[in-house]
Structure 1
Amino acid sequence: MEFALVCTRISILVLLLALSSPCKFIQSPMYFGPLKFLQSTSSASLDFGKIFFNPPSAVLRPQSPKEISQLLNFLGASSFNKVTVAARGAGHSIHGQAQALNGIVVEMESLPNSIKIHKKGDGESECSYADVSGGTFWVELLRETLKEGLAPRSWTDYLYLSVGGTLSNGGISGQTFKYGPQISNVLQLDVVTGKGEIVTCSPTQSSELFYAALGGLGQFGIITSARILLQDAPQKVKWIRAFYDDFEMFMEEQQLLISMADKVDYVEGFIILNEQSLHSFFSSFPSNPDFMPHLHSGSPAVYYCIEFAVHYPFDDEESKIDDVFEVITRKLRFMRPFIYSVEVSYFDFLNRVRMEEMSLRSSGLWDVSHPWLNMFVPRSGITQFRDLLLENISPSTFEGPILIYPILKDKWNANMSAMLPEDSTSPGKENVVFVVAILRSANPNTCSTKCLKGLLHQNRLIVEAATNPRIGAKQYLPHYSHQGLWSEHFGGRWNRFLARKSKFDPLHILAPGQGIFSRVSPHSTE
């Protein structure tokens, strides 16, 4: 009875908004009977993880930030104190972070796809930048900036993600050691707070909201526009992969490469567990490897690969790149002769994961459950983490890549909400942190529902062991089941996180899928 009453109130709310404003709502047939449009809320009840399925009561497709503001203002002033709101970009979250059970999902891609490029020297521009709407995909921004010979400095591996989505988390890839994460390359944001206020913020204007929203998991506001720092774009990239059979050497040489930031532009690494991971690893790399016959004979050996890239200078002098390549490789101790290099366009290099996506789609392995786990691991604990990982997975049956590569803590701003490991033994001394991305797929042909639950349980065991002081890791794209664990995740910054939530979203309307806060009544004394 109470559930039906709540649903009725929600339907009345959405209907009133739809009738009294230009907001475009897609309404669920479950709650709105004959009041149907051509689309339903089904797409907003799932994500790339395909682990959680939380249907909203309605989906808003805003045509402007003002419509998002109207919705949040209405909810904040009304008695509908159970309604929450989640922003959804590309729907690439893993654990239902962009879902809103019985709430309202805001489809950010419906905002006008505006990209305005400002080149250094034009007017008062001291640097080149792009103003881009929050629902725009990074690949769209790349295409437009390349027309002007420019590009953002920092990327994610996969470009079909929304600008607002990655900025709400961090945005990392092999360029992060050099330029910092994407959230360190933003000059300004437009944010609709949980109170419905539309705020333009930057390091010098409404700075607390600016830093809160960057890496803030959508808890403080919805990013509707961002000003992204740009640089001159290279034309080509020399893309190299070298193989190792020694983990410590693999770690040391990644750190060596990131120390040569004047020569190296990108560094990532991979753990090679089996034949399947080797083949998928090379699906986007335009070279035919003749590496690792031992894998094919069933050897349990684990191998490692460093992937790095050097951008062609803007004058495109090939001999200069060859000289740089020789200087770098002379310092490396990879398994000779197992090194492979190719030259590709800058766009094709940045869009390399798209090739892997197409391969997985063709085999029906893209739209499956993805029990992914992403961790930040301090250098002092990375060997222990590797051992922990291999104790908890089966190398022979593991499906999907495992990425491992270094970033530098001093490229991150501590005022932002994103969390890196804290060095408990010598605070502030350990600058190197490793990203570990365990990107397995639950193939429905070989992994049942019980199997998927087992993989998620394995992830929880890894997180529990890795986040203790012995290793000192933190989750990236974190997922926790209750607020106590969130408090542990943020550690000494938890009180700041609470204060910012109270200031910018006091009724806890936003981002319910993160599972951090429960909705508060506007009439509550809390």
Structure 2
Amino acid sequence: MEIGLFCARVNVLILLLALCSPCKFIQSPMDYGPLSFLQSTSTASMDFGRIHFHSPSAVLRPQSSADISLLLTFLSSSSFNKVTVAARGAGHSIHGQAQALDGIVIEMDALPSNIQIHRKGEDETAVSYADVNGGELWIALLEESLKHGLAPRSWTDYLYLSIGGTLSIGGISGQTFKYGPQISNVLQMDVVTGKGELVTCSPTKSSELFYAVLGGLGQFGIITRARILLQDAPQKVKWVRAFYDDFHTFTKDQELLVSKPDLADYVEGFIILNEQSLYSSSTAFPAHLNFTPQFHSKGSSKVYYCIEFAVHDNSFEDINAEQVVEEISREMSYLPSQLYTVEVSYYDFLNRVRMEEMSLRSVGLWEVPHPWLNMFVPRSGIKEFMDLLLENISPHEFEGPVLIYPLLRDKWDTNTSIVLPDAAADNDKDPVIYIIGMLRSTNPARCPAECLEDRLRLNRRIARAASSSSIGAKQYIPHHRSPAEWKGHFSQHWDRFVARKMWFDPLSILAPGQGIFPRISISSL
């Protein structure tokens, strides 16, 4: 065993010498003992955003947490001061956050699939949970857990994302108001720190690392395994859409819905800017909508709004979903005759964005640039933010959905690294914040490189204005271009974030694509 470990360390040393050599003399895929390093780095140099293309010098496809630990242990104790490491899950980041220019990208999907489902026993304090590798996709966990009649409580809209990836940023969807984000539904994790330490952490064991990693943007450790809370899964869902032409009424009804977690199981919403945003498959609804909005009238543009909510048909709880929908809808103020309901399977509802993906792939419009912008906005600033947004985009040209829905502060643990907007000074107990997602796509045939850069500049302008004191917004899945902007993003939490970095990744080896901390040499400590 000692000889094997020694050989592995020697092989890593040879590889890193090659990486740090100006000649970059690795020319073909090579296998270094238990660690498989590949020179083919094309996939690792791109992501879903298709905005940045930073090529690493090598890609590691680990077979265990120990492989990752071995690499980071060596880097943190060696004189290779320029080598950085990024963990890559599904590659769904937008601004190169999972890339490592001239460094090493760890392809987390290489970890062997091993999903273990544990159903609670008769003990009332016990819970059901799943143990799953950090590189596994949420869709795989859904499919496996449903075999046992179980499912995670909190989701993202798109399920082909990695467990470790979404736990590193938050993980939100229409269930967040009820169960909190995905980072509020994890019980335990195995994490490899930037120092190479493999640590099992939880709220009661190595808790500082546990909370640092959750929402920590990959800065403190690499999640190799997570224990995800499960609950009984419904078989069917009542899926409802209601339409509005007034923003205040729209948000008032959304807040009504999130105040009823005992009735509603999912609440989202979107802005209808044009015909494309209503009828495209990205907002597809499996029923005919007899809705003909008038987007243009007397030379002015008008936008509409749609609330989307769902009620689980839980036969094991003796809930009549149709009656629940009727009860809720009686209190809502949607446009007359503009409420539509369909029944779908739980799996199809959760996996609804997959249909959009396949449609866009079929016409070559999935793997295109995605200049997305996601913002947390306090309720006190939501109207001003909406005015700002509509002043800066052209509704008839915007391609892609604009999501907007409320979340509740008390579902977020303030010990984690996620940053939410401050509550309004005159109402520090305001429970509601909104998430706004500008999920814009850019067709290169109609929007070349200069056009894409214009849209990115527009996003930055909106984000800066929204971060002002009058609105008080914060970016979700943040992207900033300077250390000063990052410090402003974390504001009063910055010192804690820096302290955690020094504890768990003092050389700043991890997640260089975020651009938060420069790589540090051992000699400078």
Whether TM exceeds 0.5 here: the answer is yes
SS of 2:21's equivalent in the other structure is: helix
Cα distance, 1:363 vs structure 2: 2.2
Tell me if the contact between 1:284 and 1:353 (Cα under 8 Å) persists in the aligned partners.
no
Tell me if the contact between 1:153 and 1:185 (Cα under 8 Å) persists in the aligned partners.
yes
Q: Which residue pairs with 2:193 in the alignment?
A: 193
Cα distance, 1:152 vs structure 2: 0.3
Moved more, 460-469 or 421-430: 421-430
After TM superposition, the runs of 4+ consecutive aligned structure 1 residues lying more than 6 A away are 12-17, 122-125, 296-299
- The 1:15–1:67 alpha-carbon spacing in structure 2 relative to 1, beyond 3 Å, is farther
Q: Which residue pairs with 1:492 in the alignment?
A: 492
Cα distance, 1:317 vs structure 2: 6.1
Cα distance, 1:290 vs structure 2: 2.1
Q: Which residue pairs with 2:262 in the alignment?
A: 262
Per-residue displacement from partner, 1:104-137 (whole Å, max 9, x unpaired)?
0000000011111111107998100000000000
- Aligned equivalents of 2:365, 2:141: Cα separation in 1: 28
Cα distance, 1:303 vs structure 2: 0.2
Q: CA RMSD in A?
A: 2.1
Cα distance, 1:287 vs structure 2: 1.0
SS of 1:294's equivalent in the other structure is: coil
Moved more, 327-336 or 307-316: 307-316
Per-residue displacement from partner, 1:330-372 (whole Å, max 9, x unpaired)?
1111111111111000000000000111111122211100000
SS of 1:403's equivalent in the other structure is: strand
Q: Which residue pairs with 1:305 in the alignment?
A: 306
Matched, 1:177 2:172: no
Residue identity opposite 1:421 in structure 2: P
Q: Tell me the percent identity.
A: 64
SS of 2:294's equivalent in the other structure is: helix
Per-residue displacement from partner, 1:284-314 (whole Å, max 9, x unpaired)?
3211212124248897210000000000022
- Aligned equivalents of 1:14, 1:506: Cα separation in 2: 32
- Aligned equivalents of 2:31, 2:522: Cα separation in 1: 22
Residue identity opposite 2:506 in structure 1: P
Cα distance, 1:172 vs structure 2: 0.1
- Aligned equivalents of 1:306, 1:363: Cα separation in 2: 29
Tell me if the contact between 1:23 and 1:67 (Cα under 8 Å) persists in the aligned partners.
yes
Q: Which residue pairs with 2:470 in the alignment?
A: 470
- Aligned equivalents of 1:6, 1:92: Cα separation in 2: 26
Tell me if the contact between 1:283 and 1:355 (Cα under 8 Å) persists in the aligned partners.
no
- Aligned equivalents of 2:410, 2:26: Cα separation in 1: 47
Write out aligned runs for 1:69-108 (5 A). Answer: 69-108=69-108
- Aligned equivalents of 1:163, 1:75: Cα separation in 2: 25
Match of 1:8 among 12, 21, 24: 21
- The 1:127–1:423 alpha-carbon spacing in structure 2 relative to 1, beyond 3 Å, is same
- Aligned equivalents of 1:429, 1:355: Cα separation in 2: 40
- The 1:145–1:522 alpha-carbon spacing in structure 2 relative to 1, beyond 3 Å, is same
- The 1:411–1:500 alpha-carbon spacing in structure 2 relative to 1, beyond 3 Å, is same
- Aligned equivalents of 1:455, 1:234: Cα separation in 2: 41
Q: Which residue pairs with 1:245 in the alignment?
A: 245
Write out aligned runs for 1:137-216 (5 A). Answer: 137-216=137-216
- Aligned equivalents of 2:105, 2:59: Cα separation in 1: 5
Per-residue displacement from partner, 1:386-413 (whole Å, max 9, x unpaired)?
0000111100100000000000011000
SS of 2:468's equivalent in the other structure is: coil
Q: Which residue pairs with 2:59 in the alignment?
A: 59
- The 1:123–1:22 alpha-carbon spacing in structure 2 relative to 1, beyond 3 Å, is farther
Q: Which residue pairs with 2:401 in the alignment?
A: 401
Cα distance, 1:282 vs structure 2: 6.2
Cα distance, 1:424 vs structure 2: 4.6
Q: Which residue pairs with 1:440 in the alignment?
A: 440
Matched, 1:384 2:384: yes
Residue identity opposite 1:173 in structure 2: S
Per-residue displacement from partner, 1:419-449 (whole Å, max 9, x unpaired)?
1001251463111000000000111121111
Q: Which residue pairs with 1:30 in the alignment?
A: none
Write out aligned runs for 1:306-455 (5 A). Answer: 306-315=307-316, 320-426=320-426, 428-455=428-455
Residue identity opposite 1:412 in structure 2: W
- Aligned equivalents of 2:502, 2:26: Cα separation in 1: 25
- The 1:8–1:247 alpha-carbon spacing in structure 2 relative to 1, beyond 3 Å, is same
TM-score of the two chains, using structure 1 as the length reference: 0.93
- Aligned equivalents of 1:91, 1:157: Cα separation in 2: 16
Tell me if the contact between 1:254 and 1:406 (Cα under 8 Å) persists in the aligned partners.
yes
- Aligned equivalents of 2:89, 2:187: Cα separation in 1: 21
Matched, 1:24 2:45: no
Moved more, 232-241 or 299-308: 299-308
- The 1:452–1:303 alpha-carbon spacing in structure 2 relative to 1, beyond 3 Å, is same
Per-residue displacement from partner, 1:134-158 (whole Å, max 9, x unpaired)?
0000000000000000000000000
Moved more, 223-232 or 276-285: 276-285
- Aligned equivalents of 2:97, 2:23: Cα separation in 1: 21
Segments of 5+ residues of structure 1 without an aligned counterpart are 28-39
Segments of 5+ residues of structure 2 without an aligned counterpart are 1-16
SS of 1:112's equivalent in the other structure is: coil
SS of 1:240's equivalent in the other structure is: strand
SS of 2:491's equivalent in the other structure is: helix
Per-residue displacement from partner, 1:66-117 (whole Å, max 9, x unpaired)?
0001111111121110000000000000000000000000000000111111
Tell me if the contact between 2:65 and 2:224 (Cα under 8 Å) persists in the aligned partners.
yes
- Aligned equivalents of 2:460, 2:24: Cα separation in 1: 37
Tell me if the contact between 2:211 and 2:416 (Cα under 8 Å) persists in the aligned partners.
yes
- How many aligned positions are there? 508
Residue identity opposite 1:308 in structure 2: F
Q: Which residue pairs with 2:514 in the alignment?
A: 514
Q: Which residue pairs with 1:229 in the alignment?
A: 229
- The 1:413–1:316 alpha-carbon spacing in structure 2 relative to 1, beyond 3 Å, is closer
Residue identity opposite 1:204 in structure 2: T
